[in-house]
Amino acid sequence: MSCPDCFRGGVTTIHPTGTETTIHGVPTYVAQPDEAVTPKGIVVVITDAFGWKFANNRVLSDHLAKRGGFLVYCPDFMKGSALDPVAIGLMDKIIEPTSWFNTIVYKPIWVFQALVVAVPWKLKTKIPATHPGVISFFQALRTSPPPYPTDTLKVGAAGYCYGGKHAFLLAHDKPETRVVRHESQKESTKDLPLIDCAFSAHPSLLELPVDVDAVALPLSVVVGDKDAVLKAPEAQKTKDILEAKGVGSYEVKILQGAKHGFAIRPHPEDKEELEFAETAEVQAIEWFKRWFA
């Protein structure tokens, strides 16, 4: 399920530094590592509800690229139907306490305005409708020439909130999604997984325990103990299931005091929220470095 926290948070004051292009037919924001650095692999960011043009998602992509040494793609998997960031301000107004006058007169208006932007997003971006496009994008990455010289291209998925569900599904490694990799790759004669590993921050829309039980590829998860979507008991259950699969290939970190959305939408003026976001960012970078090595 989604909750109000899926549509709340802060907006970064940092300006993105990457570029826009089209990759395998999908509009994509691209963040590059430093000029002298050969990428360790490709990280595909699967965004929260606010999509590929939301500044927070682009700045996060920049950070992963520069700090991790990855080539980072942030595609428009929602096909132009991402949630308008205006919802962030509206949801804050709706939830935060205010005067009785605002509650009676303005809150109904704010609720209506929020529904106008949220309902179309919800209808157009359901996981069954968008996941085939995610699969196709990763299949194209694997069957096309790599974007930089390598015969062992590494690919990872980083999913946030709504995108966290897609990351889990990719980590299921269903046999029907596998492809024979491009002829330039060392292993190019048999069907292989689309990704080498996945990372998921405060995922939403998970079906427990089935989505967790089916995970077959290395997966790192970070969630807060105050998460209103993946609540503390469910987060602990996710941790128990994944870490029982095998030491080292799976991890779940539960951050004390963190709420849903902390990894992607911290308020720039909130030191604690920024620290939670930094923790998640470092976790993602270290996970990809490990499995891309």
Q: Give the chain's domains with CATH numbers.
A: 4-292 (3.40.50.1820)
What pLDDT sits at residue 4?
66
Sign of torsion over alpha carbons 222, 128, 1, 236: negative
For the chain, how far is it from start to end, CA to CA, in angstroms? 35
Q: Which residues, other chains included, contact 216 with Cβ-Cβ below 8 Å and sequence gap of 6+?
A: 171, 172, 173
List strands edge to edge, sheet with 19-23: 19-23, 26-31, 71-75, 42-46, 155-160, 197-201, 219-224, 250-255
What pLDDT sits at residue 293?
94
Angle between helices 55-68 and 271-292 (to 10 degrees): 50
* Residue from 52, 76, 7 nearest 260 by CA: 7
Distance, in Å, from the CA atom of 273 to the CA atom of 260, rounded to the nearest integer, reads: 11
What pLDDT sits at residue 84?
87
Say if strands 71-75 and 26-31 run parallel, antiparallel, or are unpaired. Answer: antiparallel
Q: Is the pLDDT of residue 197 over 50?
A: yes
Say if strands 19-23 and 26-31 run parallel, antiparallel, or are unpaired. Answer: antiparallel
Distance, in Å, from the CA atom of 144 to the CA atom of 154, rounded to the nearest integer, reads: 13
For 240-275, write each residue's pLDDT tens digit. Answer: 999 999 878 999 999 999 999 999 999 999 999 999
pTM given for the model: 0.94
> Are the CB atoms for 2 and 265 separated by under 8 Å?
no
Amino acid letter at 282?
V
Q: Is the pLDDT of residue 93 over 80?
A: no
For the segment 211-234, the average pLDDT, to the nearest whole number, is 96
What pLDDT sits at residue 3?
60
* Residue from 175, 110, 160 nearest 260 by CA: 160
Distance, in Å, from the CA atom of 170 to the CA atom of 167, rounded to the nearest integer, reads: 5
* Residue from 171, 192, 145, 151 nearest 287 by CA: 171
Distance, in Å, from the CA atom of 71 to the CA atom of 98, rounded to the nearest integer, reads: 45
